[in-house]
Structure 1
Amino acid sequence: LCDPYKPVRSPTVSSRSTLLPADPLAMPLDDSTAERFDPMMLQMAQQVAAMADGENAINLMLDLYFGFLRRKTDFFSSPGQCKEAVLSAYQRQASIVERERKGKEQEASKRAAKAAATAAAAAERETAAAAARDVEDGARKSRVKQIELDRQMAQQKLAADGTPKIQEVTEDEAQEIGDATGNDAADIPEAEEEDGDALTPGTIMPNTGNGGEAEHYTWTQTLKDVDVRIRVPAGTSAKQISCVFKKGHLMFGVKGATPMIDADFYAEVQTEDCFWTLDDTTTVLLNLSKKSDMEWWSCVVRGDPEIDTKKVEPENSKLSDLDGDTRSTVEKMMYDQRQKQMGLPTSEE
């Protein structure tokens, strides 16, 4: 709008009355207002950076700005106030930086305290869980030990063919027994009939999953699968697990230690369908696929405590999921089981 070849005298901006705010640390402009000038300042900063040529671009930009104040304003007409104004502007921004730094430190301190509290709570929970595992493992091992003693005692009471031993006594011995009990020999009751609800000698009652427990593990089963939960030392990783499935044998343990299980299966398995997973850092889950899905296992491996398979209670709700032949077989097994418990003939009998 003016002749580009005609010199134009720029107006001089006076700053004498506004060199210093009433409060040196009070912000003349808040950040939201000052951000409106950011595009212009960024554009200027980019141009200065481009022409810096190895020099400090910030120093160059400050020199450029103060040169602008020298050339176009009366900023330098009061040197003392100029210096105070510059220092006040610097101090205002520096105080904001310091306040933000302290805020970040406080926030970091809060996060660290929260993380420490969370870690302490987790450690406390882990300690409690470890104590509970120790109690559970100790109780299970005690039960298994007692089961083995009971089995041995029951075995001693059986004849070679597995039937209860019958001890014959003479008439004189019978009379002595009668005298000791206060009864006549003729009044000594005959052996009671076998209790259909009694456990098979040397066996234990199945758990709710139709399985049992051993020194290092607990287990459950269906007609098709067996799930084994093995306790391992806390912190065990998957790379430390050693597990070998064979159709008639299982070897399981932690590398570098004596195997926890190294024995024959109760019955053969389909090795291609068997697998294990590290459930957590203290438990490994084994899934075994039975080769025959027409029988209940009394134990996982030979030599461990056996359950009484006559007491197995399959879930009726799952019978509908079976095919016709399998369902008929299961129903027949359940019927025979109930008949045996009541001392009545089985379907074959």
Structure 2
Amino acid sequence: MTDRFDGVLLSIASQCDGIDDLLEVFFSFLGRKTDFFTGAAAADARKAVMGKFEQHLKAAQRRRAEETGEPEPQPEPVEDVSSKPRIEEVTDEEAARIEAAAAKKKSGTSGASVKSTASAPAPKKPAANASAAPAVEELSGMDSGDEDDEAGKDKLKPNSGNGANMPTYSWTQSLTDVDVRIPLNVSFKARGKDCAVDLTKTSLKAGLKNAPSLLGGELYAPIKVDDMESTWTLDNNTLNIHLEKVEGMTWWPSVIKGEPEINTKKVKPENSKLSDLDDETRGMVEKMMFDQQQKQMGKPTSDEQKKLDMLEKFKKAHPEMDFSNVKMA
């Protein structure tokens, strides 16, 4: 079940600077948008985190042992996590009741006023019952209360294809390409020779010959055109233009610079596998996964191993030198 989120997590991981940064993003989300740390006893939250850590550490060690033939490390004692807190979504009404109860308890009066969930940027406070499961703040549309939404409140909400439906055209995208559909809206059946489409690495111009362009200008980012990666076709009086991004693993806010932009923080990445990624991105993700496994087993990461190998070569080349106090940074 968990692999259905791989697309989202790989997209997040590609924008993080290592595993520490990725963990910071995850735990920051729990702290800002849920009451995971405060909805129940701190010990319960700690047990929940460590329980999952031990579970996946053991699974990683088992896979490592199967791959290398080395004996599997002896498991360390694991704390009981049967009472771990659960994260559950609540309705707006339930959230309002939780905030009202918390405000009443804090102020000691029955007339305390509580802001609505749409206008309150702070995480929700837990109800008086400390055993209640943590509640996740509902995130929807432009009223989610995200700090980032302040900058994106005037932007368009992405369509189902992570693009936008504009008055004269529509577009969708994945992390690697963009597809544009332009209805010609003519009374006759158009043919390819009736169309004028000009694709360069940094610009797009499309429409009917001897008529104003229906879409044109500087592209948001460069596209691949050398080997016909970016192409166009005509189907039932609709121009279909396919653009291959030069910079993969990125979301475009618009096709043409200056056009209305979508809020790229609202896109919903499709599920993907490592085999779907380009060689550079796949190598980066595999390296990050390997380094994480190495750290879990107390072994050097790939970068640390390279430094150790270089030091060993230098020691062999200079046996007269004393390296006993050398420490790897």
- TM-score, normalising length: structure 2: 0.39
Higher helix share: 1
Q: Which has the higher contact order (CA 8 A, sep 6+)?
A: 2
- TM-score, normalising length: structure 1: 0.37
- State which structure, 1 or 2, has the greater radius of gyration over its C-alpha atoms: 1
